[in-house]
Structure 1
Amino acid sequence: MREFENPDRWDKVAQHYEKTAHPFTARFAEAALATVSLTSQSRVLDVATGTGALARAVARTGAQVTAVDFSPGMVARVAAARLPNVDAKVMDGQALALADASFDAVFSIFGVIMFPDWRKGLAEMARVTRPGGCGVIATWQERGAATFLLLGQIRRTLFPERENAPMPAGVRALGDLEGLARELVTAGYRTPRIQHVTFDYQLDVAMLDDPETLFGMSHDWVELSDEEKAAVIAEARRMAADRAILPIPSTALIGVADR
């Protein structure tokens, strides 16, 4: 099992994730939300909610949100916000314990793409979307985003003879326009519309003092020696120069499709 497939790992990092990754993913969640029209009567599902960036954005529209994740720690962070129109539940997105056609809009912001069986995750999203509703998915391009993207760039600079670990199969399959459109249709959606969206991840250079927190979920970090890890950190500091924040431009695809 890879680290990102282990709910215990996500439980451990939930609070840190909410502080560091959530503000970044929230920008993409807002972009995804802008692709649909919701009302206070809308029923929305957020699959693999993490700390609830999308769920909280939807809640501000007045819609009713069910936010699910396989990590109890992540779900606890969503529940802690105590939003009256958000119901947070521990649930496997590959086997949703939810009725067919029960939601007007179903989202997954960088969630389904990480599933071991991402096709089943997409099919489950389509199954619980009502006819006339829509599904919305955000996926990274193949080289990833934020600290994963930075680490890959540095490894290619420092260790050009070493291959980086492949991104999860879902990212590889859904990380281009044609692949994402095709798989949305295969899952049961129709008329997919896809856009590129880019935002900077703002890396606080001081966090390089604790690199395991930044890079620890990446195999490309774990398999490095202590000396190689030190070289990676030195290169990141060189890239930042005298800046306190190192921006990492990261591009996502946001696909919306009808049921």
Structure 2
Amino acid sequence: MTAPPQAINDPAHWDSLAERYADEADRLTRLYCEAAWQAVDLPQGARVLDVATGAGALLGIAVKGGADAIGIDFSPAMVGLAQERAAAIRPGNHAMVMDGQKLDFPDASFDAAFSMFGVFMFPDPIAGFAEIARVLRPGGLAVIAVWENAGGAGPAILFQEAARRLFPDRPIPTPMARLFNSPALLDQAFREVGLEPQTVHSVERPWPVQPVEWFRENAKLAFGWSPLWRDLDEQQRTAFSEEAAALAMKLPPEGIRSTAFIGMARKPA
């Protein structure tokens, strides 16, 4: 019998969170998408790909910036939201369902390809890097964003701490623990797929403190990807949410500051 996929690799999990993700998670990730877009110098009409677009934070910024942009994601619900949001900026077909490990685009199709906090979650992250390299035109730019903290960013950090406190005898998985969460590891991954590292920007932004009730209502959004969450019963999940809410009451006024590494590399001309 085949084991079910982990939530982090299951489109249905992300489908179930799509609306809330667009409302809540974009509050943080959009800040880094804006920083990534500002760091590149792309001409009007540049052909841009956004891999693992989610609800389309980077995609919308690219479309608004004048790019000929398309986003892909394996979650149909996320793609629907990304398309709706991008089309509201400029009419057109801007998003489609696709596996980032096996892109359905010809070689040398794009001037730039982004993946904002997506590729590191793939079952085979290097396949994601390799596909980005393949579809870039010679001289094209790859832009990959990852979190410095192995537990993620913003509220995810607080939920990780709640899990450690409440379930000290259980392993607490961390999505960034596998690879990439340092400039050296990012550069190594770029080189592995034949890209030439250019620079890695360290970008820190605050996640504003939310009402304590937010942490009770959004535990699945922030931690539902974890195998630990899947193994908790409803009573344990409630206790977990309450522990996160108690920790939230002690947050500083500026909220939770999180650092992302935004790595850039070029395809050899």
Q: TM-score, normalised by structure 1?
A: 0.89
The aligned amino acid for 1:5 is N
> For residue 136 of structure 1, what is the aligned residue in structure 2?
143
1:222 is aligned, of 227, 230, 234, to 230
- The offset of 1:49, in angstroms, is 0.4
> Is the Cα contact below 8 Å between 1:44 and 1:104 reproduced in 2?
yes
Pairs aligned (count): 257
- The offset of 1:224, in angstroms, is 4.1
1:176 has 2:182 as partner:
yes
For residues 18 and 251 of structure 1, what CA distance do their matches in structure 2 show? 21
The aligned amino acid for 1:185 is R
Going from structure 1 to structure 2, the CA distance change for 1:60 and 1:86 (only over 3 Å counts) comes to farther
1:107 is aligned, of 114, 117, 135, to 114
Counterparts of residues 132-171 of structure 1 (less than 5 Å): 132-141=139-148, 142-167=150-175
- The offset of 1:105, in angstroms, is 0.6
**Identical aligned residues as a percent:** 38
> For residue 125 of structure 1, what is the aligned residue in structure 2?
132
Structure 1, 65-74 or 152-161: larger mean CA deviation: 152-161
> For residue 262 of structure 2, what is the aligned residue in structure 1?
254
Q: TM-score, normalised by structure 2?
A: 0.86
- The offset of 1:228, in angstroms, is 4.8
1:21 is aligned, of 3, 18, 25, to 25
> For residue 202 of structure 1, what is the aligned residue in structure 2?
208
Structure 1, 241-250 or 212-221: larger mean CA deviation: 241-250
1:48 has 2:52 as partner:
yes
Q: Residues 115-174 of structure 1: CA distance to partner in whole angstroms, max 9, x if unpaired?
A: 101101000001111111110000113221233321222233444444312436xx5211
> Is the Cα contact below 8 Å between 2:159 and 2:222 reproduced in 1?
no
2:11 is aligned, of 7, 18, 24, to 7
Going from structure 1 to structure 2, the CA distance change for 1:35 and 1:85 (only over 3 Å counts) comes to farther
Going from structure 1 to structure 2, the CA distance change for 1:117 and 1:196 (only over 3 Å counts) comes to same
2:65 is aligned, of 61, 65, 70, to 61
Tell me, what secondary structure is at the counterpart of 2:208?
Answer: strand
Q: Which runs of 5+ in 1 are unaligned?
A: none
> Is the Cα contact below 8 Å between 2:52 and 2:119 reproduced in 1?
yes
> Is the Cα contact below 8 Å between 1:4 and 1:114 reproduced in 2?
yes
- The offset of 1:191, in angstroms, is 2.8
Q: Residues 36-58 of structure 1: CA distance to partner in whole angstroms, max 9, x if unpaired?
A: 11222211000110011001111
Counterparts of residues 78-89 of structure 1 (less than 5 Å): 78-81=82-85, 82=87, 83-84=90-91, 87-89=94-96
- The offset of 1:176, in angstroms, is 1.4
Q: Which runs of 5+ in 2 are unaligned?
A: none
The aligned amino acid for 1:87 is H
> Is the Cα contact below 8 Å between 1:184 and 1:192 reproduced in 2?
no
Tell me, what secondary structure is at the counterpart of 1:172?
Answer: coil
Please provide the CA RMSD for this pair.
Answer: 2.4
